[in-house]
Every structure is written in structure tokens, then in C-alpha cells.
Structure 1
Amino acid sequence: MDLPNILYSAWPRHLLSNCMICLICLMAWPNVAAESYSIPIQSAGQNVTPHLRLGITAPDYPPFDFVVQGKSYEGIGADYALLVQDKLGIPVFAVQFNNRDEAIRALQTGSIDLLANSNTFEASHTGIVLSTPYLDDLPAISTRIDFDWTQQKDYTDLTVVAAYDYLPLNVLQSRFPGALIKQMDSPAKAMAALIYGQADLMFSELQVAGYLIDHNYPNAAKIVATDPAREKGLGFALNADNTHLQTRINKAIQQIAPAEHALIARRWSVAGLGATSSARTVTQNQTLRVVVDRSSPPLSYFDEQGTYRGITADLLARISLSTGLRFEFKPVNGLEDALRTVRNGQADILVDFNPDNDREQYLQFSRPYLSKPFVWIGTTSSIAAPPEPDQSVSIALPRAHTLIAYLQGKYPKAQLIETNNNADSLERVKQGQAQYTVMNLSTASYYLSRSEDSRLKMLGELDEPLAKASFGVSRNNLELLGLLDNALRQIQPDEINALANRWRNNAVVQLSDWRDYKSILLQGALLVIAALVLFAAWNFVLRRQIRLRKMAEQELTDQLNQRQQLLNELASAKKQAEKANAAKSVFLATISHEIKTPLSAVMGTLELELEKTAENSDRVEPLKTALRSASELSRLISDILDTVQIETGHLSVHPAPTNLKKLCEELIQNFSATAEQKNLALQLQWTGPEHTEAILDDLRLRQILGNLISNAVKYTLTGQITLHVKVSQKAPDNAAFLFTVTDTGPGISTEHLENLFKPFEKIQSSPAGGTQGTGLGLYICKELAKLMGGELSMQSQPGEGTRASFKLTCPIAGSVRPEHAEFTAGESVTKTIQPLRILVVDDHAPNRILLAQQLNYLGHQTLQARNGAEAFDLWKTHAFDCVLTDCSMPVMDGFELAEAIRRQEQSEGQTACLILGITAHEGPDIRQQCMNCGMNDCLAKPLGLQTLKAKLFQYTVNHKPADPLFKMSTLRTLSGDNTENMQTLLQTLLDANLEDLLKLKQSLMGNAHQEQAEIIHRIKGAAKMIGAYRLLRTIETYEGASNMEQRTALAREVSDALERLIEAMQQQTHNPQS
């Protein structure tokens, strides 16, 4: 091909020099620099007079066009538009369009005045002319890094991508004959297609390609060729009829100073701004051969694909862009080979060479482009500092190195060891064949940072000479030397520094050639042969030892096998024991659940009957006796489960903030009725801060104190029982608690007292004549006290009563605010609260019926369901204030039901109803599972009237009734409170809704959007009439939808909501009194 062949990875950043140049250019551009580099985007209806309307298009076209947050326009085009604004004194506002074609039509119709960054593409449209160009249109060809551009003879079978609005398709087809042309929406998409293998070449403005590679793909793409600059560069497109504006714009562009062009170039880090095609060199078709020592990273190296990379490679790419020169590169294995290649005329340029007097006989050197000090490298195991001039040391240096003469003069006793290249020299030092080597700082830093030998270190710098990387050319090629010097003068020092910083850690060097390490490889081969001989001799000796060792190993193996067999049998026995223990735990938990479920029905029925029976009835005592027996049985089951958890190590506590005063008062209330039956005084005494919130497991504390009080009530005949609580605050966040239960009972002998905390130990005789327990209660309390970090003790003497103490130290959360509305256990279950509509869900019929009867007795309305699925259907068609659900059920359990209700409430924006779980399982895990699925609380079976009343009062004291599907009160008002008229009106509305529902479903099937809207509007009117606010909210969401797809989906939701309303209305027609 006849295009310049260069390698380009990314243009460097210019930080410090940019700042200096910007300060200089600000003197020539005071008005623009004082303001923002952006142009405001004109919003619809905005009218600013007079002003110029500048058209911009989406998507962004970096670095020419950027839209920042939809409010301002930036880029090269914006900078030149601001210059025009400054010189004409007319404000410029941007008007954004979706694409270039829309902007061109707006320019043709006069809707805008200017279109920035325009070239022959815009000029090819009727009625469009270009202003004087403010920027060269320099086309460039880009490829992927791994694409071998040099092997391409023509464009046949290649895929070329370009932005659709860069050049017309016919121009691209003539430029790339035989290629498949793909036009993309933007340069960014074109570059992405190139990077991801959907195209072979990209054709674009040089500035665009450089910007995209530099910012997005610095190690994935490169610019390989440029075309001559076009006569019509980039300028403003104008309406051909507006000749007056065209004249003024041209004059403003001609007034732009070179310093202003330079400021924009520096601001966007691009080349070619402000240049003209006449300034380009005439040498752009010349190809130069460059010889490269491949052992000098990061200045020069060849990567794993054999591509020339590094600081000098990017520098040559920069020179190629500014001069048009083409370079081809020849790698060699050292300085000596490089010099020989140039002297024999096989290369035109030698890179990375330090000028010296000896070579000036046949070479000329350009101005240095990189200066670094030479540094000493050695191993810290043998030396720690550079050599002294009178020392006898060995120094490894590549042949023809520029420092050989210098080192021989300064270190006369030194032995210079010549090597092939830098890598070979470093290997000699590593192997101990030389004490030192010398490299420039950049190359030394690269090699040492990647060396696995931590002994290699830089020991210091040479005193005088610097490593000055320059280009070397033949002495008969003065024109080339001048061209290189001129190109280097145009590159700012900070650009080269940026190149050096970029390649400091990015080089991935091609694996070295074997010739680099020829001498080392020979020495290694001799060492390997010697090692093989020694290995053979040693192998003979070892074979005999191995035979003896195998015999010993066989004997040891037999012993180990026997031991392993014993260990396996032990592990198997352990697994069987663990499996049996786990089976026992599962069995007990299952039996507990199966027993507690019917037992809760028995206890609830007895309590309900006892509540309904008159106090003086003959049935009271039998009912109380039965209830006490059932309670003891329930407590026994809980004790057995706790004992199993203690034995298996699964007993745990879950601390949480707890109001201790309230907890103790509730315990006293719970046992007050039993104490009164025996004419015992039961009281609470409190010492210390009353409103203290301790962080502990309230369930376990209730279990410990409840057991102690229960025992005191059971075994005390006369007198009193006192629960005394003493609070001693040790620190702001920590307190000590002493709980003491004192009774006036018969007391316990010392020998019995010692065994009370053992499992299944109990008092042999009861002076109270009461029933004896299982002997597990105090054992469990003792273990719980240890688990909570406390201590449980008991003091007693026969005839003097008993004193049980529980000491506990735990964190405190602070003072507790007194609660305003709460239900205590001592209050009558008939205490009036707001009647609620409650859904009762339980697969066990006796429990379900009992719970409904309990709630009816408390004054609430109930509906029953046998499982979660049946309950969810009822919930969707009724308005419930509360759902009481068993946790374990077939079809759909209580957890799934709670999750389904919460999802439905959220999707329809309903007020959350109260959900309480009921379970026969015990433990904090089941409670946490209830809370995680959306329940408000978890209640343990059996449920007494006191507990049920207290929980409902707790959660509904500030209850807001659930939204009904429709309001019967509205119908009563409309019908004049006449039942017959109300039923007639309800049936009429029901028939209308059924007809509307059928039509709505038909319109959804036929996608009749206009008909849908009319039907839903009619439904909305009927919904307002009967107060169907859930349906109304869904319709309002439908009406606010922004697109047809959303409206269709919401129309289906309206259909579903209408179906639920119809079900509720049908139920009302069948049960008009509800």
C-alpha cells in the first residue's frame, strides 16, 4: 500500500507544559479563558435574542463533541464556537438533535445557524456550505495491536468501519476498493467493532482515533497510516442563503491566532490543530530502516507478537504523524550488531544510542530525547557499594558499549567482561561471573523490577556521564538528521516524560533469543553433563538403600493399616451414636409438636369454658383441675425438650433489650391467681432504677424466675412469697442484677438441697401435699443461668423457708420510656378493644375452631381456612385486620402465606395487616423465621385468652382498619339506607362490572388500546361510587403510565383487581347482613 506505515498506541498526556502554554495563550484569549469551556444547551421554548444557534448531535463525537449532563456542550467544536462568539460579540447557544441528519435538515430549514465540525459530508447536502476550515481534516487508519498491517497488499476481503457522518459511502468505497464498508452510528461504536474483531480497519479523523485509543484502548489499538490532509478541512456548516453570516464567520476564523489554536490542541491533547496542508513535509512517502537493540526495555523492545514497542517506538510514531515518514524495524542482539548494521548501509537510523567521539567518524547523532544517569548493578551478597578507582573488580558490559573507554580510564585495575547485550550482562552478575554491570536508570529499573533474584540491586550512579538516548544516522544523510532534530524540537519535554511514565510498568518483552545467553547456555550444558554422571553414581548407591527401606516400610505399613482399621471402626461407632442422638432429638421434637398441638386445643377449650362458667358453679373446680393438669403436661414437655438440648449442646440464648420491671410484674400477675387460691401473699420488691432495659434473653429469664416462683407457690402452705430485684449499675452501659425469691414454706434439708440441681432429683416428701414434679426444672434453670453468664443458688433450713437467688451481670441499653397503652395479665379478658376482622388459619380442626371461638368470645369477627392457599384466596376477597396462622401446614404453610400477603400488599399499595404466627415448636429460631417472612410476631401454643387478648391489644391499640374492597356505607347512603334499594343498586353495579370485565379482557386479547382506556374510565366511575379505593389506586397508576407497554401491563392489573371486587360484591349479595 502507498500509505505511511507507523505504529501508534496512544498520545501522551501533557500536564506541566500544558499549564505553562495555557498561561501564555490566555494572554491572547482573555475573554474565552475567563469563562467556562462549555456552551449552554438551549431548552425548548427558550428565546435569547440576539444569539447564534449551534447544532449538536448525539451520540458524543470525542474529542469534537461532548454533552455534559444534558446541560452544556464541550469539545473542540465548542472551543472554536466560543472563539467565534468572542470575536463576533454574539452569544452562542447549543441545540441538540438525535442524529446528524436531523441537524442538517434543521440547518436547511433555518432552525439553526451553525453546525460545528463539518466536512464534505455536510457540504454534499443541498443548500449547505462550509466556512473557512479551522482544523485540518486528516484521515487516519487504525487497526488492532495484533493485526499485521505490513502484510496487506490491498483492501480485498477486509472490513472497514467508519462513522456514517464522517464521509459519504461512495467516497469510502472509492478509497477502499474491494473492502466491505460498515457505517456505524458513532466513532466510539466503530472503534468498539474494530477492537472486538467485527472489523479489520477503522477510518476516521486522526484526532478522533487518537483520542479514543488514548482514553479507551491504549494497549489494544494503534494508528497505522494517515492520508494527506483534505483541502476542505473541518469548519462550520451554514445555510447557503445566509451569506452575511458566512462572511462574518470566515472573518472570525481567520482572526484566530496560532496561540489560540495551540491552546485548544493542548487542551484536548491532539495533533494537527491550526496546521495547514502546505506545512506538511514532502517526505511523507519515504521509508526508513531502523535498527533496534531489543535488550533495552522500556526504551525499545519487541513484544510477544514481535511488534516493536516502548518509549522510542511511541516517539517514532509521533514523528511519523508530524513528518509523514514511514519506518520499518530490524531487531538485533546488541549494540555491536546495531552499529555494524548501520555502517554496512543495511539501516538508516540507530535508536537509543549514547553519542561518543569514537562513533562520530561514521555517525551523526540527533539531539538527545531522553537523559538518564548510568547506574551500578551488583549483588548485595558480595558487595554493597560502587567500586573505588583503585579496586580490582570485574565489570560486565555489552560489546561496543559507549562506557568501555571511560571505565578503562577511571578503573585501570578493573577487568571488563564483554557480553552480547544488557540481559547477558545482568545474567553474568547474577551467576557470580562478574561483580558489576552498568545500565541506564530506565533499563536497570525495568530489569530489576522483574527479576526473581532479590540480591540484584542498584548500588549507585556513575559520577559524570549521563545516558543520553539519541538517534544515530549516517554522516552522508544530513537531510534526515535535520528532519529528526526538527521533529524532536517540536515535541515538548513533558510529552517525552509522559511516554517514559507510561512505559515504566507496561512493557511485556518478547522471550530472549538463545544467542543472548550463548556462553551461559554452554556452561550450563557442561554442568548438566557433570550432574548426570554424579547422579548415575549416586543412583547406584541409593538403589541398595531403597531396597532396605522398602522392607522396613512394609512392616510399618502393616502396623499403620491395623491402627487405621481401629480408627475407622471408632469413627463409624461415633457416627452411629451421633445419628442415634440426632434421631432421638428429632423424635422428641416431633412428639412434642404432635402432643402440644392437640393439647393446646384442650387447654384453650378448658380455659374458654372456665371463663364462660359462673364462679359459683359446681363445674369450676373440675375445670380448673383439668386446666392445671394440662398446663403441667405442657410444662413437662418443654422441660424434656430443654434437657435434650442441654445434653446435645444446642441450648442457646438470644440477648435483646428487655424491660425487666415489666417482665417481673407480668410474672407476679401470672402466678397471683394460684397464690390467692392458697391464701398466699405474692409481691414484687424493686431496689434501684426502675426503668432499666437490660440486654438479655427474656424468654430464658422468664423460664428461670417462673420456675422459682412456681416452686415457691407449690410448696408454701401459709405466709407470703416475695420476688425481690436489686439493680446495681456498675458502669454507664453495664449493671448487676440480683433476683431473689423468698418463701415461708417448710424449707429443705441440707442433704436434699445439695442434689436439687441434678436432673430428675426432687424432694422425697412434700409438706404441702402437692404433686411432685419431674426433677428437671431446677436442673434446667441451673444450666440456663450458666449459659446467660449468671449464677443460681439456693439457701434453706427446715421450718425456715427457702431463699433462691439468681445473680446476673449484663449490658444495659438505657432507660425505658413508660408504655402508655398495654394489656397486663391481671386484667379481665373481657376488656373492651376495637372489634377486629380476623382470618384464622390452621390445618388442625380442633385448634382452628377453638381459636375462632376464643376470638368470637373476645368480640371479634372471624373466618377460617384450612391451609395457606385457601387463606390467601379469602384474604384477597375480604378486608382483614389480622391474620392468625399456624406455621406448619400442608399445601402452603404460614411462612409462605405471610410472604404472599406482603407481596400483594406492596404491589397494590395496601395498608399492611397484622400477621401473627402460631407454632407448637419452641426456640428463637422459629421466631426469627416468622419475623423474616413478614409476620409481626410469633405466639407459642397453647394460646390462652389472656395471652391472645394481650397480643391483640398490643398490636391494635393504634390500629387503622384495613382498606375494604368497597364500602357498604357508601351504598347505604346512595340508597337512602333502604336495604331493598341497596341490594338492587349493588346487583346493578355487579352486572355492569361483569360486563365491563368481559369487554376489558376482550380488548386485552385484541390489543385495542383506545377501547381499553374507555372501559377503564367507565370502571373508574363505578369504583368511585362504591368507594373501591384499591381498584381506584390501580386505575390511577394505569392512567399515569408513560408508554403503551406499561399501560397494557397495568390494564391486566386493573382486570385482576376488578375480578377481586366482583367476588366481594357477589359475596355481599349472598350475605346482605355482613
Structure 2
Amino acid sequence: MLFERGWIHTLNGVLLVSLLSCWRIGVAAHLVLNEDPAPSVRPVQLDEHERQWIRDNPAVIVASVQYPLYLFQDEHGHWNGLNSDVLKRISAMTGLRFVFRESFSTDRMLEHLENGSADISTTLAVNDERRLTLDFSHAFGGAGWVFVGRAGEPAVQSLEQLAKRVLVLPARHALESTIRRDYPSIEIRSVKTYAEARALVESGEAYVTIENEIGAQLFPSGLLHVGELLEGKWEADHLAVRKGQPELLGILNKALEAFPAAELRSIRQKWLGGIGAERTSKRQQSRTQLIFWGLFAGCVFGTLSLLWNRRLTVEIKRRRDVEKRLDDQLVFQRALLDAMPDPVFVRDLEGRLTLCNKSYEEALSIRFDQVQGQRLIDVDAVPENTAGVLHEEFMEQLQTRRTRFSKRHLQLRSGHREIYQWTVPFYSADGQLRGLLGGWTDITPGDDASRG
């Protein structure tokens, strides 16, 4: 495992040197083509006490960790980068002489400041813990924090998504204490450097790390993915000064206040312009893709809605046509039933009247709407004895499911009639017994009427 990590660190170093070389070539070409005349340096107005402090402290020790493109050593061992240019400008404005002392981790850099072996640092972010031992100058820029995860894993949008997962950070990271306090469910693993943190994410031993968005863009890898910005967290660029040096802090703040804004923008553009443009381009591309897919989804949804509405309209029209045909059939059947000269009736499984024609109403001197749903024994249409006999015959026939054709005498309110009666069970489409359909023909001798 240690052998593998050694190789990983060696490869990271080779990649870093190659990257810095390519970057320096690009920057040099840009400066050759677009270099402006060197701006005149106007000294900062210092009081006698501050000038005396500079005479008493001929060198200001800068605890330095290589962090491209902010601060790094080139192939000749010279310190370079955005923060180096800022310190060179401050040196020209104040007379301070900065001497870089390399540290190999954030933890070690903090130790140098705390034990007095270094005076300032240019790459430390502010947090409450560090304010106990350090003072911080005015800000002169900044960048956001981003999640760096393994390619192919779901993108992390917020710290809440890291519950029960491993977050790897360099020891004494600026956000470590805040995350431990506010998100105790996150398992934090400490390493020495960002290179080790990225290696653990690549191997899958950690789920994600958190890095400055500028630094994160400098290490493209097929195994890593630079994700979303950490919302609500911003890493401002400060000069961190060891406690007990108010004169040095005052000198640095005066220089930063007097630093021409245009020159500071020029320095940041020189070192970070390409990275910013690349990330802006990626964001614009991401937004464009999001808009495209949104419009595509809207078009698909609209097309499906139109097709569905069209299908629904056709279905509604079809059903209305079917209902109209059914209504026409019912009207026709009712007209046909009422046109029949013989009485016809329909009764359900309980013997209740559900349908009859006009001849039936006339024969029994009733109205359908008055006797609908009633049995023959429940209405005063025929003599009680006759009603009882007919009802029992209906119920027996429903049990036996046999048809009945018979000649019989029927006593009605209008008198005695001789009839030929028929009753047949009828069924639903699925074969279930639904009731009886019946009627009669009046065959009384000497009566020319077909019904009574």
C-alpha cells in the first residue's frame, strides 16, 4: 500500500511539473503578445514606527505550500504564481523583503507560524480556530470550494448528502472544524496533502474531498470529477500574519489598500483567467444543455399531450356515438313494444315489474310509473286470489327456469277473460338469469278485441 501511494505521489509530482511548464509557456506567450509597460510603483506612506519595524526585520518569512497557480516553485527553484506577484508588488511599495520557506502540508505550515519560524502565509483560509493564533489582512480576491469525487458516482450537491460517508481532507483544513460541528454524521479522514486526498478518492477509500475550485481544475483525471460549489462557503484570499506583529499587519493592509485595482485584476487574469474561462465555459455549456433538455422535454410533453387530447377527443366522440345509437335503439324498442296489440311485461328475480307496454297498462287499468318495481300481489290490479296464483307461478318458473305456454281463464277488474298466456325466463349476455318476459293473447269467444 505504501509503495502504491509512493508511486501515486511521484506521478502526481511529474504531472504537476508538466502542467506548470505548459502553463508557464502559455503565460509567457500571452505576456509577449499583450504585455503592457510596467506600471510605476508609488511607495506606500508609512509612519516612522512602521519604517523602523522594517529596518529591524530585514526579512519576512513566508510559510509556503505549493498550490498552483497561487504559489509554486518552477524548475529553477524560484517561487512563482499569483501570490508571489502580489508579494513582489507589496515589496516594491513598502520595502519589505519576503523570503519563502517551504512547508509540505497545511498542518506543517500552521506549525511554522505558531512556533515563530515563519511570519506570514499567503494560502490559508480564515476560520475561527486560526483566528486564535493568526491575524488576517484585507482580502484581495477569492474562490469557492468545490466537491471533488470519483468519476461515475452521483454528483454531490451538498454536505447533507455525505451522511455516513467518508470525506477526506488535509489535516487542519479550513472547513474541518465547521463540518465536524454541524455535520457529525460525516466521517472525516485526515491526510497530509491534497494529493493524498485525491488518491484516496480515486481508489474509492473515500467518497469525496473538498478543494479550492481553482486548484481542483488543475488536476484533470479520468477517475475524478469536479462537482458543484459548496453553497454558502467562500475562500477569500488573505495574507495570514502571526499574532504579535501589528506593525507588519498594518503595513500589509496599507499596501493592499493602495494596490491599484486594475493591476490586481491584471495579475489575477494572468494566472487564473484561463481557469476561470474554462469553468465559465463548462457552466455555460451545462446551462445550455440543461435548457436544451428542458425544451426537448417540454416539446415531448407537449406532443404527447396533443396526441393524448386528440385520442381522448376521438374516444369521447366514439362513446357519444355509441350512446346515441343505444338511445336510438331504446327509443325504437320502446316504440315497438308499445305498438304490440297484446299485453307484454317484464319482471325481475323477485317478481317485481320492470317493464310493460301500453296494452298491459290498458288491460290492468294501471300506469307503469305507479306500479314500477312492485310485485303483482302488491298492487290492486287483479283480484287477490288471482294475483297470488300468478305470483307463485312466476316464482316457481324462476326456480325451474322453464318456459310456460298455457290457455287459462283470467279474472280481471273488467271481467272474465279467456287468454293464451306465455312466460319465458330471460338471461344476460354472460348467461345469468335476469327475470321473466311474458304476455298473453285474448281469445275470449265472441270478443273481437285482442286484449281485455
- Please report the TM-score for the alignment, with normalisation by the length of structure 1: 0.22
Tell which has more relative contact order, 1 or 2 (C-alpha 8 A, sep 6+).
2
